[in-house]
Amino acid sequence: MTERRYSLLNKLGFRFGLNGPHAARTMMLDDLRVLLAHTQLNASRADYVIAIVENNILGKPTRKARELALRHMTRLYDLDPANPIFRAMRHLWALDEAAQPMLALAVALARDPLLRSTQEFVLGLSQGTPVTRDAVEAFLGSTYPDRFSPASLKSFSQNVAGTWTAAGHLLGHVRKSRALPEARPESAAMLLFLGFLEGRSGQRLFTSEWVSLLCVSAEEFELLASSASHRGLLVFMNAGGVKEVRFPGYVTPEEEQIRQEVAHVV
């Protein structure tokens, strides 16, 4: 990927680089649920800061703990309606509680390169396959040789496993195994939108790595997209095998211009 493409995708809310909040935390699904349940749909970034730090709606024991929670959640989700990824998640969030784990995971993957590096490993496992901490650490150690101390590698592995468990891709507390997440129309809409922001369109939207997160067949995913369209979450048309997906109201004219530029940059 070229620097130009990185730069454009950054403007649309994606994050890249070598560091990510999963070095210290999971995707904080429970905290995110509390935060979004106690803030308005049109809340500003300042509103989220006040809610976490001043009003302590997450119930953290100290001000420092509140500030750390804010920092990690901001890196994971941005908490800014100016970010089209967060804005889309916020729009879809309250529509279906069962979709929330996948919505959170999708945004966390878009914004945490460390977590994103583990997607292929997790999705490559068959349902029911045991997933040990040693296996996760071995994968991360080979992916990032000489980068983490043993203690950091252990923490990172635990955080990554915690996130994939919260999202429904792993099952179990101490002994984990590969599981299949719940597939909902709201989740399908979010995953298609992320591919859309990356410059994909038509059939290419249905073959992205985002779509693979639901772990369903192509036919099942199309049914989810159709259901999302019927619910007004997007516009999906499929005539003679030619697919078209639109996202009315999801992006501003300026964001659409950037998105179109992304589509022409490798």
Q: What is the pLDDT of residues 207-231, one digit of tens each?
A: 999 999 999 999 999 999 999 999 9
Fold of 185-262: Arc Repressor Mutant, subunit A (1.10.10)
Transcribe 227-249 into DSSP letters.
Answer: HHHHTTSSEEEEETTEEEEE-TT
Specify whether the CB–CB gap between 237 and 244 falls below 8 A.
yes
Q: Please report the pLDDT score of residue 146 as a whole number.
A: 81
Please report, rounded to a whole number, the percentage of residues in the chain having pLDDT higher than 90.
85
Work out the average pLDDT over 26-32: 97
HSE of 102 in the Cβ direction (CA atoms, 13 Å)? 27
Angstrom distance (rounded) from CA 106 to CA 226:
20
HSE of 188 in the Cβ direction (CA atoms, 13 Å)? 29
Angstrom distance (rounded) from CA 51 to CA 36:
10
For tokens 């915690």, the residue is 162
HSE of 27 in the Cβ direction (CA atoms, 13 Å)? 29
CA dihedral sign, ordered 196, 200, 202, 203:
negative
Residue 177: CB atoms within 10 A of its CB come to 15
Q: Please report the pLDDT score of residue 182 as a whole number.
A: 96
Neighbour order of strands in the sheet with 176-178: 130-131, 176-178, 170-171
* Burial class of residue 186, CB neighbours in 10 A (0-12, 13-18, 19+): buried
Angstrom distance (rounded) from CA 227 to CA 67:
40
As given in the structure block, the two tokens for residue 230 are 């019927």
3 state SS of 83: coil
Q: Please report the pLDDT score of residue 8 as a whole number.
A: 97
As given in the structure block, the two tokens for residue 186 are 């709201």
Average the pLDDT over each of 117-131, 145-159, 226-240 and give the range with the smallest value: 145-159
Specify whether the CB–CB gap between 21 and 112 falls below 8 A.
yes
For tokens 């597939």, the residue is 183
Torsion of CA 137, 140, 141, 147, to 10 degrees: -120
pLDDT in tens, 66-116: 999 999 999 999 999 999 999 999 999 999 999 999 999 999 999 999 999
pLDDT in tens, 162-204: 999 999 999 998 899 999 999 999 999 999 999 999 999 999 9
As given in the structure block, the two tokens for residue 4 are 């130009």
For tokens 């709201």, the residue is 186
Q: Please report the pLDDT score of residue 189 as a whole number.
A: 98
3 state SS of 59: coil
